């Protein structure tokens, strides 16, 4: 399927950053879905059939969320809803990882994943704000 690249893609650093976040989310979700045991070991969590199944399922959802963000940024259509829900997914991931670390499910090194998601949520929130503002407000300082 050939995607038309949005003409504003090259001119917007927030759009470029959102595209990169989408691609990284697809790649990490794919890795998590394909090799959940390896990811569980990296974050210092229990590695059982149940946790591998759960992590694989979460990876699939990451893949879908990252895919819709990537697709939306490439096409430049209906980006506000996609930015909002992608931001919500990243913010939710921060909370879920933090709770997992607090309860001893994940090792503290898993907070590096949460840090990426926190930064991603901030970038997506900024991109969402830029998409919502009328054009004349975007150019005023």
Q: State pLDDT tens for residues 62-97.
A: 999 999 999 988 987 667 888 999 999 999 999 999
Contact 87, 124 (CB under 8 A): yes
Cα-Cα end-to-end distance for the chain: 40
Among the residue ranges 19-23, 33-37, 125-129, the one predicted with the least confidence is 125-129
Q: Side-chain half-sphere of 135: how many Cα atoms within 13 Å?
A: 0
Which 3 state secondary structure label does DSSP give 12? Answer: coil
Please give the structure tokens belonging to residue 121: 């949520």
pLDDT for residue 135: 55
Spatial distance between the Cα atoms of 102 and 70, rounded to a whole number of angstroms: 32
The pLDDT of residue 48 is above 90: yes
Among positive and negative, which fits the CA dihedral 87, 70, 61, 109?
negative
pTM of the model: 0.74
């Amino acid at each position: 399927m050939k995607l038309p690249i949005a003409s504003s893609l090259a001119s917007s650093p927030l759009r470029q950053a959102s595209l990169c976040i989408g691609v990284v989310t697809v790649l990490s979700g794919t890795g998590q879905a394909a090799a959940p045991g390896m990811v569980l070991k990296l974050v210092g969590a229990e590695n059982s059939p149940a946790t591998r199944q759960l992590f694989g399922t979460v990876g699939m959802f990451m893949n879908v969320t990252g895919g819709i963000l990537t697709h939306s940024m490439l096409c430049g259509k209906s980006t506000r809803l996609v930015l909002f829900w992608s931001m919500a997914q990243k913010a939710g991931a921060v909370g879920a990882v933090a709770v997992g670390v607090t309860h001893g499910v994940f090792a503290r090194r898993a907070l590096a994943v949460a840090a990426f998601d926190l930064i991603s949520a901030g970038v997506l929130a900024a991109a969402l704000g830029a998409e919502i503002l009328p054009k004349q407000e975007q150019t005023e300082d």
